[in-house]
Structure 1
């Protein structure tokens, strides 16, 4: 119905789908940016909102794939604005529930599949199967929409063998690959600071050294995946290089909060065990002193990942403050105790290495008060979000970045 009410806009657009556990939002925005360097008008829909040409549109809190009506209204507007390419972020829920209908895709990508949403999917196999529904949409696009019948896959992901078999054998798709050490597109880190990454991009068209503000191996994978996807969309390599080097980091993705304080503060959206591991691995590589993590895990969501998150923090950080993160109807204390089970496997004890502080502002304040010179404080899980999901469907205003700035100012550290 949503399609018909909006004049079946999907039939008039070239649409690219992006799914996976981690990296979706960065890949969507980076591909969109790369295509813009060619002079084409492009639109995209991601966790951050919708971009149509130069216009940004808010799509609501806690939203990755918007509801069907909003989705097709946005596509209709993209038709009206003469967008030549559209990139959309698709969650496993949206694919499994066919929330976007039988959307014909010109091409698409699965970035990776790691532990997430098992409260809904029940098993990693079912989760992978939901993600693999992307293949049917690409096959549909090949038949009905002049798509190229290609999908981009991470050849270093544990699910690659299964996914590539499904794509080729059951859907007749071509598979284009990427990875850090192998793949049709791969790369190698040359030099990295907490500000920039210099790396070599290796393709069949040669080796090119590029510099980007996206740092960390996980972001290098995001870059490689976006480059591969843009290439499949027939963007020239010189424009891909230009797009990579001019792309600015996204809001709430390892965003640095700097007010002259003697320690570093970062805000990041990492809310899965794998994403948190990737961010902490990066920070540990550059740490001169202690790493503190302020984090929680969402209520009424996958409970099995809670101890895994605690285990990751205990493996890579020096201390932590367990606090609220969209608790909904659940007790923050109960959620924190489940996180702490993972910390206990690494020998961490409460009030020695980790503290339970349900109020997130107080947890951030405490972390800052106890930080010393050259420490790193990571506020994980909320990232760009400006709301906290509480009980009875109520959202309270919340922004880690604003709160961090306010608490630093209370300690005498003001923006220069």
Structure 2
């Protein structure tokens, strides 16, 4: 597979289809039942970000938690937008901005119509693709990459939309969200259709479902991995979090596939659901699971039609479930799962239990685990591979769920032998306060049951300290950022790649270091 190149315009308007059918504002207004103000004009695109506006766009000025998007309308119009979609409050503000004559569509809740409107403007691209949606707390990225490996092995052109970015053939577009906002998502799907991509494996976040980012997207498959504590800064509680995830199973997906190894998954099951389990009877299940010395797994898959040998090179028992789910998705997409099992078994996902191997006599792993269940799962996966000490570097992100910080500290302190608490992406919060919350959780563990607990705010120094501490037979786990190539400090994103830092630390100690792929 050719290494994807970052699209040159990824930080501007993002990828856009080469051709769109101009649509009149009056026609679009009738479609969504909007009031219309100003003259009728034609639009050829849509954007909810003034920084991503293209010439001829309809600018969606949405109400926000702290500010109204209408205040960005002047910048959007200067960038080439020709009309505005907004709510009554935004329409009233247009006059104050001396923009009363700008063509506008006015609806009570513009976000509620944004997905369908974006799909309409870009020709409902999902109808020309097989969109395979995956939701859940953990495993979305791994599952989509495993699905892509199977699709490529079957000779099916594929794309990915998710946390790592958007892969459209040989182009990688970085996006600020796991699931892009509806205008960008529909434009990207239209690009994939233009490029003759057949299938798109898409991570579908709870934010995207609740905020309508995937409205207007028709899914061939909707799949669920699991649910554990995360995003409770956005959702009121776990029930609300689950209700958002469950929106993928409201009929928008033609086929529904669910891992039933937790109570949340079992709640989604209907008579037509395809079930997946590593623990119980299901349409897709695994037996004879064997963990190899390098952490990879081998097992037997029992599907609806046949059984076959399979495996996953990414350590962790939870990745058996992710692999089973990938096989179920592939099968529902018309792929012979048994035929592509060898390709799935060798697939590696960036920043997911990614080994940095050289001639050092200890294991070094970088993982994206950034929630309590993910941290526990990573430690449980690595413990059997560790003859000596399990050394962990862990931080928590700022401006996110504060409640999970002490929980993550406690889980880490119980599961490893040396815990180095450091910074993740502090964003606009004081890094020391984030570390203090984690340390409080870690120190709540009785000393006889707890790891040695250290604090090092500088993440690079924390990683160097962990690597320097490692002895033959130890394991070093750098958790929390995984694939990320930047660190957000005070709103400024600084270049930072855990894998590269680990590799450099190993080399400074005289070891060779490569990434196991």
TM-score (norm 2): 0.73
Q: Output the CA distance in 1 between the equivalents of 2:410 and 2:368.
A: 18
| Deviation of the 1:240 alpha carbon | 4.0
1:8 to 116, 124, 149: 124
Contact 2:394 2:478 (8 Å CA) reproduced: yes
2:479 to 372, 380, 394: 380
Contact 1:306 1:335 (8 Å CA) reproduced: yes
| Deviation of the 1:352 alpha carbon | 7.8
Change in CA separation of 1:175 and 1:352 when aligned onto 2, cut-off 3 Å: closer
Q: 2:494 matched to 1:396?
A: yes
2:503 aligned partner: 405
| Deviation of the 1:75 alpha carbon | 0.6
Post-superposition Cα deviations, 1:161-186, rounded to whole Å, max 9, x if no partner, equal 3222xxx3xxxx72111111221111
1:64 to 178, 181, 188: 178
Q: Output the CA distance in 2 between the equivalents of 1:289 and 1:381.
A: 23
Contact 1:230 1:240 (8 Å CA) reproduced: no
Q: Output the CA distance in 2 between the equivalents of 1:74 and 1:269.
A: 25
Post-superposition Cα deviations, 1:257-315, rounded to whole Å, max 9, x if no partner, equal 12322322111111111111111001111210001100101011001111111121122
1:210 aligned partner: 310
Contact 2:506 2:513 (8 Å CA) reproduced: no
2:50 aligned partner: none
Q: Output the CA distance in 1 between the equivalents of 2:149 and 2:361.
A: 34
Q: Output the CA distance in 2 between the equivalents of 1:352 and 1:174.
A: 47
- Higher helix residue share: 1
Post-superposition Cα deviations, 1:203-223, rounded to whole Å, max 9, x if no partner, equal 233332224313321111110
Q: Output the CA distance in 2 between the equivalents of 1:352 and 1:50.
A: 39
Q: 2:279 matched to 1:163?
A: no
Q: 2:444 matched to 1:345?
A: yes
| Deviation of the 1:373 alpha carbon | 1.9
Q: How does 1:85-100 map to 2 (within 5 A)?
A: 85-100=199-214
Q: 2:163 matched to 1:47?
A: yes
Contact 1:291 1:378 (8 Å CA) reproduced: yes
Contact 1:333 1:356 (8 Å CA) reproduced: no
| Deviation of the 1:77 alpha carbon | 1.1
1:227 aligned partner: 327
Q: 2:305 matched to 1:237?
A: no
Post-superposition Cα deviations, 1:331-384, rounded to whole Å, max 9, x if no partner, equal 2221112112222232249x9811111100111111122222211110000111
2:252 aligned partner: 140
Task: Work out which of the two has the higher radius of gyration on C-alpha atoms and give 1 or 2.
Answer: 2
Q: Output the CA distance in 2 between the equivalents of 1:338 and 1:224.
A: 37
2:31 aligned partner: none
Q: Output the CA distance in 2 between the equivalents of 1:274 and 1:195.
A: 19
Q: 2:396 matched to 1:297?
A: yes
1:178 aligned partner: 276
| Deviation of the 1:23 alpha carbon | 0.4
TM-score (norm 1): 0.90
Contact 2:119 2:216 (8 Å CA) reproduced: no
1:128 aligned partner: 242
| Deviation of the 1:195 alpha carbon | 4.9
Q: Output the CA distance in 2 between the equivalents of 1:159 and 1:211.
A: 26
Contact 2:138 2:374 (8 Å CA) reproduced: yes
Q: How does 1:356-367 map to 2 (within 5 A)?
A: 356-367=455-466
Q: Secondary structure at the match of 2:227?
A: coil
Contact 2:224 2:265 (8 Å CA) reproduced: no
Cα RMSD between the aligned structures?
2.0
1:109 to 223, 232, 240: 223
Q: Structure 1 unaligned segments of length 5 or more: list them.
A: 142-146
| Deviation of the 1:24 alpha carbon | 0.3
2:139 aligned partner: 23
Q: Secondary structure at the match of 1:177?
A: strand
Contact 1:27 1:223 (8 Å CA) reproduced: yes
2:429 to 315, 330, 353: 330
| Deviation of the 1:65 alpha carbon | 1.0
